[in-house]
Amino acid sequence: MRTQLLIGGQWSDGADGDTLDVLNPATGELVASVAAGSSADASRAVGVAADAQKAWAATPPRQRAEVLRNCWSVLLDHQEELAQLITAEHGKPLVDARGEISYAAEFFRWNSEEAVRIEGSIRTAPGGANRIIVHHPPIGVVVMITPWNFPAAMITRKVAPALAAGNAVVIKPAPDTPLTALRVGELLEEAGVPAGLVNIVPTNDAAGWFEAAVAQPATRMVSFTGSTQTGRALLKVASGRVLRTAMELGGNAPFIVFDDADLDAAVEGAMVAKMRHSAETCTAANRFFVHSRVADEFTKKLSAAMGAVKVGAGTDPDVSCGPMINEAAIEKISSLVDSAVGAGATVALGGAKVDGPGHFFEPTVLGGVKAGDPITSEEIFGPVAPVIPFIDTDEMIAHANDTEMGLAAYVYTADIGRGLSVSERLEYGMVGLNRGAMSDPAAPFGGMKQSGIGREGGSEGIYEFCETQYIAAGW
């Protein structure tokens, strides 16, 4: 297990000798003590990255692509080991942790294919005096702040396109889950990523670390996944140097079920959209708008499916919902459930935290929730499904859009025309139509409104890490 900072291909303690403790959220036990970097370490890492980036940017795209393809296969070769690490520090069931590694590795395969297809253009200026040549060089050094809910995949989703485009990166992994990040960094070097291109510097001092990294002249971009609140704070700091930013922020996903939908399929999709990775995803269904003609039946079927979920430590093969990341998460979920019940919701299933050790919450279904109740305006990030019956489609869409968030939405109906027209009216960057899963390295992941800036994945993703240069060429 790697527990030191990775800077320039070397492992070291932080300049201040500081450490952070990684706890297993299923047991509260110490997994490891990890070196915690200071602002001096962040600055040093940016300098090292800037040096390494020059040679990498000059490396032919085909060669970069081959290194990335190798990263895909090396990560898969270590799938079991990485999955065990994720489960130890994050808590998610091993089956999900294994799935996360396939997902994480796929960002490398996809971006190895994109590395050789960065397009430019040439056209004649309208006045005829010159040609307009447009091309896309790399940006330089990208500072990345990554979350705990996907300790591997939220790193590779950023690193793979950044490297494909010819950049170097400095990563601050979440303090709850630095072990996976450090091991992924080590494996990328084993796969042929030159030393200094991927630097990983966990810290206890997120604000000081970030300010120092952003202040370095070589830093040209910030890429962040996490809450909208933190995203706003980072944007303020990054604006001081007018840096490019890519932000994957919070969600408040509506899951809409029309009365013609196949209810069993809708419940199956709901279980994925709600419970995937222990319900700790920003795409998680947060509000279930169900036509009142089928609301009772849907609630009953969803409660049966949620009731069959075994909650416990991710190492138990029968468990499909692991612990929440910490006690603060449990307190937030409890208070949202209490406020919904206080506002008149009925508890169809669950409703309470599970006694420790560990941070567990019962899979919960709430019936008769009203649009506008506090639980409908906050990202729950836990295994709670509030069901809001609706009659009028226009009114329901207005409620679904009545939020500053706009990441993911889901629609279930047998009428594909209605499904598409409702999807187009939803102010969300991604819509699952008769599908509870939408995440795919080959598709542009990202949100509208305060859910983010930019897209990760798809053919769009690599351009987030590219500059645009125009040459007015006369010949």
Binding site for ligand SIN (CB under 6 A): 149-150, 154, 225, 281-283, 439
With CA atoms as reference, report the closest residue to 37 among 9, 53, 18, 58: 18
Phi, psi at residue 10, to the nearest 5°? Answer: -110, 145
Instruction: Specify the DSSP class assigned to residue 460.
Output: T
Q: How far is the CB of 191 from ligand SIN (least distance, A)?
A: 22
Q: How far is the CB of 283 from ligand SIN (least distance, A)?
A: 5
CB nearer to ligand SIN: pick between 376 and 439: 439
For residue 436 the two structure tokens come to 């509870």
Count how many residues are written for the chain: 475
For residue 165 the two structure tokens come to 């485009």
CB nearer to ligand SIN: pick between 49 and 104: 104
Q: Is 226 helix (H, G, I), strand (E, B) or coil?
A: coil
CB nearer to ligand SIN: pick between 87 and 439: 439
Q: Contact, 42 vs 219, CB < 8 A?
A: no
- For residue 190, the one-letter residue type is E
122: part of which helix (H) or strand (E)? strand 121-124
Choice among 248, 280, 378, 464 that is catalytic: 248
Q: How far is the CB of 456 from ligand SIN (least distance, A)?
A: 8
CB nearer to ligand SIN: pick between 102 and 393: 102
CB nearer to ligand SIN: pick between 41 and 89: 89
Choice among 89, 100, 282, 362 that is catalytic: 282
Q: Which residue is nearest to ligand SIN (CB)?
A: 439
Burial degree of 124 (CB within 10 A; 0-12, 13-18, 19+): exposed
248 is catalytic: yes
Phi, psi at residue 359, to the nearest 5°? Answer: -115, 85
Q: Contact, 128 vs 174, CB < 8 A?
A: no
CB nearer to ligand SIN: pick between 34 and 154: 154
With CA atoms as reference, report the closest residue to 339 among 310, 311, 284, 376: 376
With CA atoms as reference, report the closest residue to 383 among 350, 411, 341: 350
Question: CA Rg, the chain, in Å?
Answer: 23
466 is catalytic: no
Instruction: Specify the DSSP class assigned to residue 193.
Output: P
Active site residues: 248, 282
